[in-house]
Amino acid sequence: MKNPKKTIRTRIAPSPTGLMHIGTAYMALFNYAFAQKNSGQFIIRIEDTDRQRFVEGSEQVIFDGLKWLGIPHTEGPDVGGPHVPYRQSENLSMYKKFAEELIEKGYAYYCFCSVETLDEMRKQQQARKELPHYDRRCRVLSIEEAKKRVDAGEKYVIRMKVPDHEVIGWDDAIRGHVEINSDVVDDQVLMKSDGFPTYHLGVVVDDHRMEITHIMRGEEWISSTPKHILLYRYFGWELPVFAHMPLLRNPDRSKMSKRKNDVSVQSYREKGYLSEALRNYLCLMGWSHPQEKDVFNLNEFIAKMSLERIQTTGPIFDINKLNWMNGKYIREMLSLDEIIERLQPFLPADFPKDLLPKVLPLVRDRLVTLKDIGLLTEFFYRNIALKKEDLIGKKSTADKVKMYLDESIKKFEAVTEWKALPMETVLRDMCDAKGWNRGAFFMTLRVAVTGRTTTPPLFDTIEVLGKETTMKRLNQACALFT
């Protein structure tokens, strides 16, 4: 660690470009946990300098997502803090000042090349099979001449000067020593012609200004890090620790993308995943518990996590494993009352208010997501539509089915105590006494009262359905055969 006496400060710096990507949640979780573990602080900064990609309202989506996931921040545009503003668009003149400082120091230059010139340059480079790069034609302009053109109102950007043939290296807290030759690093634009800084200038200025000690971000930023290291050097600022996290991947190992996976935190929420389960699952992305545990809470993660245990290979975000985790949380990790509360937004409008505590114990084990509650319990409160064929099934006959139903109706009518166990005993004894095939008999009964071939335990279901509904359904089924 480079600054042992300083408070550890980590951050996420999302760009408000629409939905909250699951990768942002992943970064937030690890940055937050690392800060917590070290009694530090976790900060949110909004990097909204790319006006073309800006989507109104997406900042709130990020805050809502983090709140839902239970990942709190100590500073940010919503809660303020000692380093305001936490939204880059509110500080444009400051970035300009820093860019001009670099020009004065000889580390940056004005560039007047138009979009057309740059396009042409790129085309020619591609024709020569070169990697596209800025050919530095404005780097040779004298500062006096450049300033004259700026004063005359010519459109410009500010680019950083990247040295030739220099190996730029850093000790990555996850990857070990990384080196990149400056010859593959472009003279990066720092200030755009619209007066906004680029990501590269903004991120360095703000990480320094906000006293960020550890930059934990996705591996897609590794190639940008040499630019950032140069900027820290040019400004004379102390380097933070860099830790490049692996990227989440689809099962085919491609980068987790909209096409192959659901990538928005909001959609997992809407589909009925529990925030605890999603968070727990994200903990296992590229990191493993020292005791190889799969299921643990956030406090345990904070206690056990370390950068050393983070792998460099991209973890696969596997929806089946998340489903398993979610089911596990629904079944075992939350109390019945908590699940009842979480289920509320997922109940269909016609779901009877007092039904949930009765049916939940019957279907809880079969819920993969909270949203499943609707379909799994539908037959308890909506009318069922039956056809003769459904009741007869493959192995029975119409005569037998009618007989099963007639006899069952008689038995159920006589029931005085509407409870699963005594009813089951009565019906099973009758079935055995008559020498009927148990499988066929109970299947007829199940289909008649629920409309389905798979249900929770039949007599528990019948108990919850109540006498009136059960009798009505049995009679309706019977009527199909007269």
Q: Which two tokens stand for residue 38?
A: 């070290």
Residue 13 as a binder of ligand GLU (CB under 6 A): the answer is yes
Of 87 and 402, which has the nearer Cβ to ligand GLU? Answer: 87
Q: Are 273 and 334 in contact (CB under 8 A)?
A: no
Interaction of residue 217 with ligand GLU, rule CB under 6 A: yes
Which range binds ligand GLU by CB under 6 A, 8-16, 144-152, 302-310, 414-422?
8-16
* 76 interacts with ligand GLU by CB under 6 A: no
Stretch touching ligand GLU by CB under 6 A, among 7-15, 118-126, 133-141, 254-262: 7-15
Using the 8-state DSSP alphabet, how is residue 332 labeled?
I
Structure tokens at 261: 């996976």
Q: Which is nearer to ligand GLU, 14 or 327 (CB)?
A: 14
Cα–Cα distance, 325 to 403 (Å, whole number): 45
Which structure tokens are listed for 421? 């166990």
CA–CA gap between residue 3 and residue 385 (Å, rounded): 70
**Window 15-44: residues binding ligand GLU (CB under 6 A):** 15
In whole angstroms, the minimum distance from the beta carbon of 12 to ligand GLU comes to 7
Tell whether residue 256 is a contact of ligand GLU (CB under 6 A).
Answer: no
Closest CB to ligand GLU among residues 240, 327: 240
* Annotation says 227 is catalytic: no
Q: Which is nearer to ligand GLU, 249 or 364 (CB)?
A: 249
Does position 62 interact with ligand GLU (CB under 6 A)? The reply is no
The window from 12-20, 146-154, 315-323, 335-343 that contacts ligand GLU (CB under 6 A) reads: 12-20
Can you read off the two tokens belonging to residue 327?
């089911």
| Min separation Cβ 11 and ligand GLU, Å | 7
Give, as ranges, the residues between 123 and 162 that touch ligand GLU (CB under 6 A): none
Closest listed residue to residue 77, CA positions, set 141, 14, 128, 138: 14
Tell me the closest approach of the beta carbon of residue 287 to ligand GLU, in angstroms: 18
Asked whether the beta carbons of 475 and 438 are under 8 A apart, the reply is no
Q: Out of 54, 221, 235, 324, which residue is the one contacting ligand GLU (CB under 6 A)? A: 221
> Which residues, including other chains, have CB under 8 Å from residue 123's CB and lie 6 or more apart?
none
Query: Distance (Å, rounded) from C-alpha 400 to C-alpha 402?
Result: 5
Report in angstroms the alpha-carbon separations of 410 from 294, 430, 470.
Answer: 52, 11, 12
Which of 67, 97, 258, 395 is labelled catalytic? 258
Q: Decide: 311 and 287 in contact? Cβ < 8 Å.
A: yes
Could you tell me which stretch among 11-19, 146-154, 188-196, 455-463 binds ligand GLU (CB under 6 A)?
A: 11-19
Q: Does 14 bind ligand GLU (CB under 6 A)?
A: yes
Phi, psi for residue 44 in degrees, rounded to 5: -115, 130
Taking CB under 6 A as the rule, does residue 199 contact ligand GLU? yes
Pairing mode of beta strands 241-245, 214-218: parallel
Q: In what order do the strands lie in the sheet with 157-160?
A: 108-111, 157-160, 189-191
Q: ∠ at Cα 114 (113, 117), nearest 5°?
A: 80
Does residue number 47 form part of the binding site for ligand GLU (CB under 6 A)?
yes
Question: Residues in the chain, how many?
Answer: 482
Cβ proximity to ligand GLU: between 255 and 472 the closer is 255
Please identify, using beta-carbon distances, which residue of 221 and 481 lies nearer to ligand GLU. 221
Beta bridge partners of 216: 243
Q: Is 246 an interacting residue with respect to ligand GLU (CB under 6 A)?
A: no
Question: Closest-CB residue for ligand GLU?
Answer: 217
DSSP 371: G
Interface residue list for ligand GLU (CB under 6 A): 13-15, 47, 199, 203, 217, 221
Active-site residue set: 258
